[in-house]
Chain A
Amino acid sequence: MAHEPGTPIGRRLFLGLLGLGAVGIATGSSISNALQRLAKNDPTGLSAILPGGGGWRYYQVNGYPKRSRSEYRLRVAGLVDTPLTLTYEDLTSLPPIKVTRDFQCVTGWRVLGVKWQGVLLRDVLDRAGVQPEGGAIRFTSFDGAYTESLTMKQARRDDVLVAYQLDGKNISTDHGGPVRLVVLPMYGYKNTKWLETIEVTRAVVPGYWEERGYEVDAWVGASNGRNDEPT
């Protein structure tokens, strides 16, 4: 078979690119984090198009379950005086809280300046009345699989929300709508999507990812072997 004589540049380029890809997979995490730090001082917002930059990654462990706002119910159960079943309107009629914070995932990506609106978890707990032996909360998602936990002290913080709006809009299914938990100072996995049940327990029951190796106290920058800037 004839082939044109000459330098095998095509093969070198091909193999070189494969090598570049492999090196990139091995080292891209730190490059991406460095880019993110640079991008923080970018006033134009153009850095959002950088690899690793701007924008959410959507994770789920059991598909994207859909529930309309009218069908939605939030159960508050466990060690409480009055177990509650709240509708979406019940939640939105509680005093709204608005906060803007970065959102940091334990896998590295960060979304800057996310605007949340919701109610304080503490307000919801107080309506049900936590019994003295209630020391922790277990959260369950209506996807039928995801669970999370907080200690009572963590749950009563000013930056822990039952949220129903994200960046001024109703929370979409991808983002865990219509209602999700938002634990602003902790990594994303604490922020139970598709929140269905808030159960007061005696002690912390490790959640879905915590059974798979993530830390129960998921402070951004001070857990899971990461050194992200706190949110």
Chain B
Amino acid sequence: MRVPRFTRTERIAHWVNAALFTVAMSTGAMFRFGIGQSLISDRALVRGVHVYTGLGIVVAFLIAVIPRWGRALRRDASRINRWSPDEIRWLKSLGRARGARLGKFNPGQKLNAAFVPAAALVLAASGAIMFWNRPFSTELRNGADFVHQSFAWLIWITVAGHILLALQDRESLRGMTGGTVSTEWARDHRPAWYAEVTSVTPEAAEPVDA
């Protein structure tokens, strides 16, 4: 018996996002550090790929969230927003608090999920000022450049941490690949969520794929 964790829409949104981030982050690093510069014959092309992939992240997110099919995603966003006292305690103890009853997401996942979309918007806005720079003063262009680089560093660190942690918890990763997790994992690692999805109250029932 496995517990449904992420709908197909959520998983598609996640992996499309992952692919777009991979492209945006690697082309960005090429610019900043000249990595693979000898391999790139057309710098303008790489720049175009970077800029439009970055905008694509924002567009893809809106497509995933806004329509009817984004219901599960919006519901998870609402879970990510709200922190129970147990979760705050868990974070303050850096995950060592005993008996903290976590919901669907642990506080680390919540931080990640709040940080990444905010950073994506900041990067898109600062990147737009850098790319369509004509109307902006040199002060603002410079500031945008500074912010873009700072948030790029934070995104690299966050994404690296996200991937490492996912690889260390295969069952959690399975939730994002196959869409379900084992009952044991849900019960041991996300007890509050487990209680919610196994209870019979209709409002707690997890939406499943149509």
Give residues in A with beta carbon < 8 Å to B: 1-11, 13-15, 17-18, 20-21, 24-29, 31-33, 51-52, 55, 57-58, 60, 63-64, 106-109, 172-174
Contacts and interface: CB of A to CB of B under 8 A. Distances in A.
Q: How large is the interface on B (under 10, 10 to 19, 20 to 34, 35 or more residues)?
A: 35 or more
Interface in B32-84: 32-34, 37, 42-44, 75, 77-84
Contacts of A172: 37
Contacts, number: 141
A17 B115 contact: yes
A52 to B, nearest CB: 5
B143 A28 contact: yes
29 contacts: A1-B78, A4-B79, A4-B84, A8-B81, A9-B83, A10-B110, A11-B81, A14-B114, A18-B118, A18-B121, A21-B121, A24-B143, A25-B125, A26-B140, A28-B144, A28-B145, A28-B146, A31-B146, A32-B143, A51-B149, A51-B150, A52-B142, A57-B145, A58-B43, A64-B43, A107-B141, A108-B142, A109-B145, A174-B43
Contacts of B34: 55
Given A3-B82, A52-B149, A106-B138, A25 B75 contact: no
A2 B204 contact: yes
Nearest to A2: B203
A152 B129 CA distance: 37
Given A58-B43, A64-B44, A13 B118 contact: yes
Given A4-B79, A51-B153, A10 B114 contact: yes
B119 interface: yes
